Amino acid sequence: MGIILEPLGKQHDRSKFACGEGELDDWFRRRAGQDERRNIARVFVAVDSELGVVGFYSLSSFKLDVDELSEEITHKLPRYDGIPAALIGRLARDSRVRGQGIGELLVADAVRRILSAAQSLAVFAIIVDAKDERAATFYARFGFRRFPLRPNRLFLLTSSALAALERM
């Protein structure tokens, strides 16, 4: 299986994608292209040469409320209301490729793209909103930490992500 990660385009058939979560399937099939055209999100897809689209994720800019972070992190930050961040808004892999590492590949690609953008645009942290506890546990495996007051919202400091990539 050869996977290519690329921006969502008209050539991608989204009709067969099914991750098992109706809300994610519906967004990808019906609204991902609209969000892309409206500059709400950038959508990237994992494409298998035989199966077609087997995964996707979306990226958006995000304003992180400083009050949501722990004192351990905020004590070194300026007292601004918001800090620049990037949001991995939606991420899913097709049920046909469950257990083949596509989810991990999508997270790694999203983090790399964010770190690349962070060379030109300030990004303090990468944010994810996990759909449920299973998803939160998935992101925690990559070093994402839970917000104290919102356990299904997690963050990864870009400095931590960059350090992890440099160790690879």
Cα–Cα distance, 24 to 7 (Å, whole number): 18
- Average pLDDT over all residues of the chain: 92
4-21 confidence digits (pLDDT tens): 999 999 999 999 999 999
- The bridge status of strand 125-129 relative to strand 82-93 is parallel
38-58 confidence digits (pLDDT tens): 999 999 999 999 999 999 999
Spatial contact of 94 and 53, defined as CB atoms under 8 Å apart? yes
Cα–Cα distance, 27 to 24 (Å, whole number): 5
* pLDDT at position 79 over 90: no
Q: Tell me, which fold does domain 3-167 have in CATH? A: Aminopeptidase (3.40.630)
Cα–Cα distance, 113 to 115 (Å, whole number): 5
The number of beta carbons lying within 10 Å of the beta carbon of residue 146 is 15
Spatial contact of 28 and 90, defined as CB atoms under 8 Å apart? yes
**Three-state DSSP state, 13:** coil
Q: What is the rounded average pLDDT of the residues 116-121?
A: 95
Measured between alpha carbons, how far is residue 53 from residues 27, 71, 128, 149 in Å? 14, 42, 22, 35
**Three-state DSSP state, 16:** coil
137-163 confidence digits (pLDDT tens): 999 999 999 988 888 999 999 999 988
Q: What is this structure's pTM?
A: 0.92
Whole-number pLDDT of residue 1: 60
Backbone angles phi, psi at 117, to 5 degrees: -65, -30
What tokens were used for 98? 């469950």
Beta bridge partner(s), residue 55? 46, 93
Whole-number pLDDT of residue 168: 54
The single-letter code of the amino acid at 40 is I
DSSP category for residue 8: -
Whole-number pLDDT of residue 104: 94
